[in-house]
Amino acid sequence: MFFSAATEELDSYFPIKPECQADVPKTRFKARVGKTLSPRRWHAAFSEDGHLDIAGVLRRIQRGGIHPTIKGVVWEFLLGCFDPNSTFEERNEVRQKRREQYVKWKDECQKLTSVVGSGKIITSPIISDDGQPIQDPSNSCSTPYDNGALSSVVTLDQRVIQWKLSLHQIGLDVVRTDRALVFYENEANQAKLWDVLAVYVWMDNDIGYVQGMNDICSPMVILLEHEADAFWCFERAMRRLRENFRSNASSMGVQTQLGTLAQIIKAIDPKLHQHLEELDGGEYLFAIRMLMVLFRREFSFVDGLYLWEVMWAMEYNPNIYSLYEESSDPNSSRTNKNDEAKVNRKMLKQYGKFERKNVQTGWKDQRGALAVFLAASVLETKNKRLLKEAQGLDDVVQILGEITGNLDAKKALHEALKIHKKYLKAKKP
């Protein structure tokens, strides 16, 4: 039976190691008949040749999330991997081409280090900052071929150097990723996550690897059995998030969204904003983690997935697939607002409710993702305590830290939409 009031049944799809049971947040999400997108409802949403009723699917997800058995394949549509107006045959062709492209990129990486695709991971540096090979006897993956065919080359390409320098950091993060899950007790699954991240960083060398990407990638690796499919799902997710990971010596990309968060709080709750400024928290740096990894640390694994899929459904734009396909640049924006000046009522139904409101009001600030309003809703739930008890930034961090495991994703999203509506009204000229 697909639906049960028992949350434990959902947790069984993503089992927790017995010794970690007491340390992880309790799952609040429950699959509900008539609300959660079930496998039966999902398959019924396709026409005979494969066209998907995306409007009906979005409505169901926004009401009650997605059943664990179909999360991966549904996410592929929500993130823009596939066009809902395509046929089964057309999508199979797209999937096959993408898998072939992934194999090519992975082959390039394997020529640089044989650990890629070997079922192992790298956790110690394999080259120095100037590109010279390092042989570390303590590294379980260290072999005479770790640096691949290029180890004999005196001068390495800067792109290769930067990529190789990131591999051990990816490995160190991989072994810490979702380590409460039984899934990652299997070294092959850790290696799958490491391979996907390593290939992605090779492909998107402009951003490189930044801690937190592992938290975004892990669910895709768990939900999608084929490694290449997991890679492309992650790549599409990063289209939305990659600018948050862009950083240099003086700034972080996520500061753009933090600035938007500050504007939102200033508009809807000027008293709280002023208080935070007086505490030297006007840059809202205490909210970095929420935005960087999309609240993964604030929820149980199951609740985190529920939060993501409902957010993505609410943000869904029917043009997402074509916009991504028109540009091979991973930096292409998630939507092109200028193309949405005239949208008829029927087309509006194919938008998620958050994005629909943006289209209807003509709001074009792409820095204002739903996650920013979700962060604002978290601050608003702690408004009274922040105003009364926070005497410094440490107090702010402590008060916000208490939401871990105690936040209801459904209620938080509802509040985020209310804040979004209130903010748009306040910003009207």
What's the pLDDT tens digit per position in 239-264?
Answer: 999 999 998 777 788 999 999 999 99
Tell me the mean pLDDT in the region 36-62: 97
pLDDT higher than threshold 50 for residue 341: no
Q: Residue 330's pLDDT is what?
A: 58
3-state secondary structure of 37: strand
pLDDT higher than threshold 50 for residue 6: no
C-beta separation of 173 from 211 below 8 A: yes
Question: For residue 336, which of 313, 359, 353, 307 has the smallest C-alpha distance?
Answer: 359
Q: Residue 145's pLDDT is what?
A: 39
Please report, rounded to a whole number, the percentage of residues in the chain having pLDDT higher than 70: 88
pLDDT higher than threshold 90 for residue 349: no
DSSP states along 315-338: H--TTHHHHHHH---TT--S--GG
Residues making up the chain, counted from first to last? 429
Question: For residue 121, which of 164, 168, 160 has the smallest C-alpha distance?
Answer: 168
Question: For residue 252, which of 276, 283, 296, 217 has the smallest C-alpha distance?
Answer: 283
335 vs 389: which has the higher pLDDT: 389
Question: For residue 338, which of 364, 357, 358, 316 has the smallest C-alpha distance?
Answer: 364
3 state SS for 48-91? CCCCECHHHHHHHHHHHCECHHHHHHHHHHHCCCCCCCCCHHHH
User: Using 50, 70 and 90 to split pLDDT, how confident is the model at 93?
Assistant: very high
C-beta separation of 408 from 425 below 8 A: no
Residue tagged 């991240």 (tokens): 197
Tell me the mean pLDDT in the region 273-295: 92
Q: Residue 82's pLDDT is what?
A: 97
Q: Residue 297's pLDDT is what?
A: 85
CA distance 377 to 413: 8
278 vs 426: which has the higher pLDDT: 278
CA distance 407 to 44: 33
User: Using 50, 70 and 90 to split pLDDT, how confident is the model at 142?
Assistant: very low
Paired with 289 in beta bridges are: none
The least confident of 10-19, 107-116, 133-142, 314-323 is 133-142
C-beta separation of 268 from 373 below 8 A: no
367 vs 73: which has the higher pLDDT: 73
Q: Residue 172's pLDDT is what?
A: 98
Residue tagged 């039966």 (tokens): 40
Q: Residue 141's pLDDT is what?
A: 52
pTM: 0.91
pLDDT higher than threshold 70 for residue 49: yes
285 vs 141: which has the higher pLDDT: 285
Q: Residue 154's pLDDT is what?
A: 44
What's the pLDDT tens digit per position in 164-189?
Answer: 999 999 999 999 999 999 999 999 99
Q: Residue 138's pLDDT is what?
A: 46
Instruction: Show the tokens assigned to 63.
Output: 């009401």
Q: Residue 10's pLDDT is what?
A: 74
CA distance 100 to 201: 18
Tell me what the pLDDT averaged over the chain comes to. Answer: 88
Q: Residue 342's pLDDT is what?
A: 60
What's the pLDDT tens digit per position in 369-409?
Answer: 999 999 999 999 999 999 999 999 999 999 999 888 788 88
User: Using 50, 70 and 90 to split pLDDT, how confident is the model at 281?
Assistant: confident
